Chain A
Amino acid sequence: MSDLAIDVEGLTKRFGARTVVDNVSLKIPAGEVWGFLGPNGSGKTTTIRMLCGLLKPDGGHGTCLGLDILTQAEAIKRQVGYMTQRFSFYEDLTVRENLDFVARLYALPNRREQVERTMQRVGLSDRRSQLAGSLSGGWKQRLALAACMMHAPKLLLLDEPTAGVDPQARREFWEQIHALAREGVTVLVSTHYMDEAERCDRIAYIAYGKLLAVGTVEEVVAGARLSTWVATGPGRDKIATMLAKAPGIGTAVFGPSLHVSSADPAALRRAIEPLMGDPHVTWRETTASLEDVFIHLIQDATVAQAKEAQDRAA
């Protein structure tokens, strides 16, 4: 087995005529924590499902933990922990019964004890006899997470595990993820949170089914070659509206300030120079943040997608 936990080439998935995942290749070394980012409907869930054998790819090939994703799905399932985006444990079973079911399926030794320990670790002991369906959203997430980690998988595929989870629990979750990574567990986690992306060893960014950027946060930011200016002051919302239509320019509000970025520094200057006279706003140049880069990537991808659709229609 190579030291790549995930090694896939050209993964493609079509639903009807729509290509939802388009030629995605990923090489994730064992023991790393990767963030999987991208706008809604970009194909994150679909990609993850192909990795653990839940969907058959229409193209591409590769391995998970050295096992072929096309032919050895069953062996992969034994060693992978997959947390679904939508809660998919049994709402009419209690917390303990759900965990017990999973423990039985994986034939865990000392089942009872394991279940007890898991409940204690994630703070579900008090709710052991509560029906899973009556848990609050965040507690459901914690239950699902605990359940998919119980069999000590070597690879964790987590689809938005922290959606709806409070900050304290999120911090505990990430501490746990890093502790697991130190033990050699590989993690691919999809998220929409920038702060979580920055906690990852590497990130992969996908839009319209195409992988647009892969690397450490610094690499991804540097790779975009963005020129970014910050406008601070009460006039920032007006500026945001004015620049909304400008081609190739992305805007993002951060607290009291507005980030304006573009891959073309000259064009950016031309666009903002007339606005610099506004006395209610102060301007300064800065380095792009990850969010600036993502906004830029999605804008570019949207333009490219529209052009592609036009070409196809013509």
Chain B
Amino acid sequence: MLASLARVVAVTLKEMIQLKRDRFTFGMILGIPVMQLLLFGYAINADPKQLPTALVSRDPGQVERSIVGALERSGYFRVVAQVTGEPEVERLIAAGDVAFVVTIPDGFTRDLLKGERAQILIEADATDPAATSNAVAALNQLPRSALRHDLPALATEPAFDVVIHRRYNPEGLTAYNIVPGLLGVILTMTMVLMTSLAVTRETERGTMENLLAMPLRPAEVMAGKILPYIVIGYAQVGVVLVAARYLFAVPMLGSLGLLTLALLAFLLANLAVGLTFSAIARNQLQAMQMTFFFFLPSMLLSGFMFPFRGMPGWAQGIGEVLPLTHFLRIVRGILLKGNGAIEIWPEVWPLLAFAAIAWTVAILRYRRTLD
């Protein structure tokens, strides 16, 4: 047992030295999180204002002017076009020339004064929800602020409804979703890639023959090889969380200790996937291709890119299998909702189950001979 531990340590130390010498890989490990954070962070941090807005007014007059004034006072909207026809509206929003189209329907003032279901329609281009969500949120205040000055009698209660159509992306992700989600995406990418390369590298360079000739058990090699990556994984988590907190002011309501524990399950699941790939792949290129084969569905079907509930059933089915899906729910739950152990457990056990199966496959597929 002690000897076994010593062998694991030997492999770990060797991996660390190799990693240290491999400047490129090392740089990539720290570079990926920083780069992704900066790229995605921009979309989050920017709380864009003065968004181009088209106005379709079928009821010109005092009320119309009040509403437009209120929209512009909120800071988020800037009316750049006055249009009349439906085709023109479509063209503007499809081309991305405007982010919003505000339609004040025929007879709006009349309905308002009569107290009858007056509505204005706001269509938002939600392809980039991070860009429009704050503006959409500001619309809640619109009925009150629009009428406060000009028709104070009507401003006491919501005098008219603002009907919001989010175009192209009905669920509208919120900005805070992204940074915690990024944590899972970065870990999936680096953990699977690094481990799958770590073993294939030995096969490719011929050092596997020596390793196999020495008294090392498969489990010892695997444990020794993944230990450095667990450390690296946590380092990446640290980088992302610090950035999330201080650069992007992401709320952290739940326990970071709980997150650390849940992370371990997620890391183990991904490391096992990497080891399985390395046992199947014949060379580093194949290992890399397999990693992307795993990474793409993780990215697309986990709820990181697209809202999970918006996906068709079969896609959700695949998504439910992937570790990233569950981890996203865990990390968003802990950070944003302040979830505790009981709330996240339904998402933790699928991770553990996945890890157990992947580890079994990895150990079974590990080559004990050169055949």
Give the interface of A toward B (CB within 8 A).
Answer: 49, 52-56, 73-74, 77-78, 80, 82, 84, 86-93, 97, 101-102, 104-107
Instruction: Tell me whether A104 and B210 are in contact (CB under 8 A).
Output: no
Q: Which residue of B lies closest to A104 (CB)?
A: B10
CB B306 to nearest CB in A, in angstroms, measures 42
Give the interface of B toward A (CB within 8 A).
Answer: 3, 6-7, 9-10, 13-14, 17-18, 21-22, 205-210, 212-217, 368-371
Identify 30 residue pairs between A and B in the complex whose beta-carbon atoms are under 8 Å apart, listed by A's number.
Answer: A52-B213, A53-B369, A54-B212, A54-B369, A55-B369, A74-B215, A77-B213, A77-B214, A80-B213, A82-B210, A84-B206, A84-B210, A84-B213, A86-B209, A87-B206, A88-B207, A89-B207, A89-B210, A90-B14, A90-B18, A93-B17, A93-B18, A97-B17, A101-B10, A104-B9, A104-B10, A104-B13, A105-B216, A106-B214, A106-B215
CB A162 to nearest CB in B, in angstroms, measures 18
A63 to B41 Cα, complex, angstroms: 63
Instruction: Tell me whether A78 and B215 are in contact (CB under 8 A).
Output: yes
CB B366 to nearest CB in A, in angstroms, measures 14
CB A94 to nearest CB in B, in angstroms, measures 9
Q: Which residue of B lies closest to A97 (CB)?
A: B17
Instruction: Tell me whether B209 and A88 are in contact (CB under 8 A).
Output: yes
Instruction: Tell me whether B215 and A90 are in contact (CB under 8 A).
Output: no
Instruction: Tell me whether B213 and A54 are in contact (CB under 8 A).
Output: yes
Contacts of A88 in B (CB 8 A): 205-210
Instruction: Tell me whether A90 and B214 are in contact (CB under 8 A).
Output: no
Contacts of B217 in A (CB 8 A): 74
A89 to B18 Cα, complex, angstroms: 12
CB B158 to nearest CB in A, in angstroms, measures 69
Contacts of A107 in B (CB 8 A): 3, 6-7
Q: Which residue of B lies closest to A159 (CB)?
A: B209
The one of A55, A87, A92 in contact with B22, judged by C-beta atoms closer than 8 angstroms, is A92
CB A69 to nearest CB in B, in angstroms, measures 12
The one of B206, B213, B371 in contact with A86, judged by C-beta atoms closer than 8 angstroms, is B206
Q: Which residue of B lies closest to A74 (CB)?
A: B215
**Contacts beyond the supplied A52-B213, A87-B206: 20 A-B pairs with Cβ under 8 Å:** A49-B370, A54-B209, A54-B370, A55-B371, A73-B368, A77-B214, A82-B210, A82-B213, A84-B210, A88-B210, A90-B14, A92-B18, A93-B17, A101-B10, A101-B13, A101-B14, A102-B214, A104-B10, A104-B13, A106-B214
A54 to B9 Cα, complex, angstroms: 23
CB B206 to nearest CB in A, in angstroms, measures 5
Instruction: Tell me whether A97 and B14 are in contact (CB under 8 A).
Output: yes
Contacts of A102 in B (CB 8 A): 214
Contacts of A106 in B (CB 8 A): 214-215
Contacts of A97 in B (CB 8 A): 14, 17
Instruction: Tell me whether A105 and B214 are in contact (CB under 8 A).
Output: yes
Q: Which residue of A lies closest to B20 (CB)?
A: A92
CB A52 to nearest CB in B, in angstroms, measures 6
CB A120 to nearest CB in B, in angstroms, measures 22
CB B222 to nearest CB in A, in angstroms, measures 15
A231 to B209 Cα, complex, angstroms: 46
CB B357 to nearest CB in A, in angstroms, measures 26
Contacts of A74 in B (CB 8 A): 215, 217
A279 to B13 Cα, complex, angstroms: 72
CB A108 to nearest CB in B, in angstroms, measures 10
Instruction: Tell me whether A105 and B215 are in contact (CB under 8 A).
Output: yes
10 pairs of A and B residues whose beta carbons are closest in the complex:
A104-B10, A88-B210, A82-B213, A78-B215, A77-B215, A88-B206, A88-B209, A92-B21, A101-B14, A88-B207
A22 to B290 Cα, complex, angstroms: 38
A187 to B214 Cα, complex, angstroms: 18
A102 to B212 Cα, complex, angstroms: 12
Which of B208, B209, B214, B368 gathers most chain A CB within 10 Å? B214
A104 to B217 Cα, complex, angstroms: 14
The one of B7, B17, B371 in contact with A105, judged by C-beta atoms closer than 8 angstroms, is B7
A56 to B370 Cα, complex, angstroms: 8
Q: Which residue of B lies closest to A50 (CB)?
A: B369
A119 to B248 Cα, complex, angstroms: 54
A108 to B210 Cα, complex, angstroms: 18
A78 to B7 Cα, complex, angstroms: 13
Contacts of B208 in A (CB 8 A): 88
Q: Which residue of B lies closest to A98 (CB)?
A: B14
CB B68 to nearest CB in A, in angstroms, measures 67
Q: Which residue of A lies closest to B18 (CB)?
A: A92
CB B199 to nearest CB in A, in angstroms, measures 14
CB B282 to nearest CB in A, in angstroms, measures 15
Contacts of B369 in A (CB 8 A): 53-56
Contacts of A78 in B (CB 8 A): 215
Contacts of A82 in B (CB 8 A): 210, 213
Q: Which residue of A lies closest to B4 (CB)?
A: A107
CB A241 to nearest CB in B, in angstroms, measures 41
**Given A77-B215, A78-B215, A106-B214; A90-B371 close (CB under 8 Å):** no
A55 to B368 Cα, complex, angstroms: 9
Instruction: Tell me whether A104 and B17 are in contact (CB under 8 A).
Output: no
A78 to B213 Cα, complex, angstroms: 9
A104 to B10 Cα, complex, angstroms: 6
Q: Which residue of A lies closest to B217 (CB)?
A: A74
Contacts of B17 in A (CB 8 A): 92-93, 97
Instruction: Tell me whether B6 and A104 are in contact (CB under 8 A).
Output: yes
A78 to B368 Cα, complex, angstroms: 15
